[in-house]
Amino acid sequence: MLVLDVKTLNLLSNRCWFFSRPALLAAALVLACNALAQSRTRTELTFPDLPGWVTLRADFHSHTVFSDGSVWPGVRVEEAWRTGLDVIAVTDHIEYTPHKADLPVNYQRPWEIARASAEPLGLIAVRGAEITRGEPPGHLVALFLTNVTALDQKDNRVATRNAAEQGGFLFWAHPGWKQPDRKSVWYAEQGEFLSNGWLHGIEIVNGDAYDPIAHQWCLDKNLTLVGNSDIHDPIAFEYPGPPGDIRPVTLVFARARTAEAVREALFQRRTAVFSRGQLYGEARFLEPLFHGSIEIVNPEIRLRGNGRALVQIRNRAPLDFDLRLNPKLPEVDVDGKALLVSGKVSLVQVRCVSDRVSGEQEILLPCKVLNLHVAPNKALNTALRLKVKFESRN
């Protein structure tokens, strides 16, 4: 990749007097993009569709050079495509634009650039912004706006109301980040916003940080779970991707692959959050996600007398599943722990506990998936379904 530092750019500007500095910068960006284009590949995040819904992978909180980010909106889109996303929202700050000496303040422009880059890649670019105020009330991210400029208001309540009146979906971003102990505090302003219909979700994951208090608030107050990168630098600086870190993702269970379907799903709370090998969400979504991600390669097994059999389980998801199985059932016994490794086939050993059992039976192996969280400190309970043919020793 071509890299031009400030010193080199100044030198070129002085010697090539017939080119302006912006023109040289644009040329450097074109050359850099051409170099990137030679190795453009996408890493798929293989979460299954759920019955009746399309599973879309989204990041609803990111920044560009139009506020305090360090990349162009089109680069944000390219990063989103490369890292397996279907939806990306550029949510630059309204009140904080440190690059305004180099770029004009134009609240509409980031989304216009992002949309033009997203269309040929088949991505959905969401128009949004971050209302950036002190504590309280903290930062609110507004999505699906029609007029970002209307949020540029001195009165925070006016800015928030204007976002909501556009049909915007508003979520409270990183609620605990300003607290000394990172323990989130529910402000009176949040209660007011909620009662006014101006608050629809909370960011339970921001970057690498999971907030269990915010998670519980979402459950108690019927708010939508979201988890995002809040990325400012190039995404690879913080999330190199598989087999290393993967950016946090909001999984959206939408009726179709459209911006309006994403918006509708957010308002209907049809989301889950994927972050650092963990999934957070309601059981009605996590259970079909789990079972849609795995395949029992040999669902029909044979057990003879007190013999043993090996169940092979394929995991297509981009995370391991950490299982705790019920080790004692009337018919069979299994190991208490099993790790279904991402992208591989794992083995679970099943033992017959009685030589008096015979014939074919369907066995449900109760299990708890420790890294699928239906609430703070509460794992998903489900079961593995097997068909077992018990044979006598003779």
- Are 103 and 67 contacting, i.e. CB atoms less than 8 angstroms apart? no
Tokens found for residue 334: 């299994």
The letter for the amino acid at 202 is I
Residue with tokens 């010193």: 7
pTM for the complete prediction? Answer: 0.88
Q: How far apart are the C-alpha atoms of 385 and 139, rounded to whole Å?
A: 45
Distance spanning both ends of the chain, measured CA to CA: 70
Q: CB neighbours (10 Å) of residue 234?
A: 14
Per residue in 123-181, pLDDT tens? 999 999 999 998 899 999 999 999 999 999 999 999 999 999 999 999 999 998 877 77
Q: Which domains does the chain have, with CATH numbers?
A: 1-39 (no CATH), 41-281 (3.20.20.140), 293-391 (2.60.40.10)
| Pairing, β 224-228 against β 201-206 | parallel
Number of Cβ within a 10 Å radius of residue 57: 22
Q: Comparing C-alpha atoms, which of 193, 249, 251, 202 is closest to residue 222?
A: 202
pLDDT tens sequence across 195-254: 999 999 999 999 999 999 999 999 999 999 999 999 999 999 999 877 668 999 999 999
Contact yes or no for 266/224 (Cβ under 8 A):
yes
Q: Residue 333's pLDDT is what?
A: 81
